[in-house]
Structure 1
Amino acid sequence: MDINFRVAGRIAKPVEEVFEAVANPDTLSQFFTTGGAKGRLETGVTVLWSFAEHPGEFPVKVIEVVPSKKIVFEWQGYEGKHGKIGAEMVEADYPTTVTMLFTATDDGRTLVQIVEEGWPQRPEALRGSYGNCEGWTIMLLAMKSWLEHGIDIGKDLYS
């Protein structure tokens, strides 16, 4: 069984607005892709994401988009070097798959669930999954802060 995780949070905005904040590169760059995003998330395209704390651009291969409901993409897997605490991440020889689910709640908020999977069962891959789980949790918090209050909590978080 491959390694996977799920993180989730509720955002006090309508589902269409929350979905658009992720699909639209201009908005996504305000709270998550600290180095910018190039390209709208649409089925069949590859977009580029950059993060100020990690050098280079990360290709994101979009597998499926269902407006206001779901985004599925693949990107390069990373693993933590063996024996390191706060492990340095190195590129793996496989992609991982991310599924984002957007669900309107009865009280007008949006439940966002993010699942990432595809790491093989080995310690280095487990460390890689921990790093991405941390990143997606921060992304949810940053998106909530940005959409609900206009505050960029990620600014200078890593530098």
Structure 2
Amino acid sequence: MEQLEINTGLQISKKANEVYEAIVDPNKMSNYFIAESTGNLVEGTSVTWKFPEFEGDVLIEVTKVIPNELISFVWEGAKGKKLKVKISLTEMPDSSTVVKVTEGKLPADAAGITWYGGNTEGWANFLACLKAYLEYDINLRKGAFEFRRGEM
């Protein structure tokens, strides 16, 4: 059976080190994506994320970190499924950074298609919120998903 994998990306008008810090530092990440975290994303550690619009904690197992280039972790991206997430950063000649997110893989069945749609939406939102925060100091996520409280 065919396997589904999320692949999305966005260019941000900031240097790779600024983008990297905004992803690994929970004090910065709480300005655009999560409500809180138990710590920085450091290779070989686990942290717990809380989202403002969802109940419960999300365990993040950090598997690889290359400063200013890569953050990779495993999480329960779909119910009962541990999935690998890879966030790669590529600094461009104009000092902007291309951020790419991949997650997966799951079978192309009904459950996989539901996961693919929901998590693709989530990662595209993550990227848009990261861009708005870094370029304009705006938290796009604040209040955006109140209608989803309790769905996770």
Q: What is the identity percentage for the equivalent residue pairs of Structure 1 and Structure 2?
A: 29
TM superposition outliers: structure 1 runs of 4+ over 2 Å: none
How many Å separate the matches in 2 of 1:122 and 1:39? 35
Give unmatched runs, 5+ long, in structure 1: 79-90
How many Å separate the matches in 1 of 2:108 and 2:8? 20
Deviation string 1:40-71 (CA, Å, 9 cap, x unpaired) is: 11111001111122101100000100000001
Q: Which residue of 1 aligns with 2:61?
A: 61
Query: Does structure 1 residue 39 correspond to structure 2 residue 26?
Result: no
1:113-124 map, 5 Å? 113-124=100-111
How many Å separate the matches in 2 of 1:47 and 1:24? 12
TM-score by length of 1: 0.88
Q: Is the 8 A contact 1:77 1:119 kept in 2?
A: no
More strand by share: 1
Question: How much does 1:125 deviate?
Answer: 1.8
Q: Which residue of 2 aligns with 1:28?
A: 29
Match of 1:47, SS state, is: strand
Q: Is the 8 A contact 1:62 1:73 kept in 2?
A: yes
Tell me which of 85, 90, 93 is aligned to 1:106: 93
Question: How much does 1:120 deviate?
Answer: 2.5
How many Å separate the matches in 1 of 2:47 and 2:15? 25
Q: Which residue of 2 aligns with 1:138?
A: 125
Query: Does structure 1 residue 158 correspond to structure 2 residue 145?
Result: yes
Q: CA RMSD in A?
A: 1.0
Question: How much does 1:118 deviate?
Answer: 2.3
Q: Is the 8 A contact 1:100 1:115 kept in 2?
A: yes
How many Å separate the matches in 2 of 1:114 and 1:104? 15
How many Å separate the matches in 2 of 1:28 and 1:77? 19
Match of 1:31, SS state, is: coil
Q: Is the 8 A contact 1:24 1:41 kept in 2?
A: yes
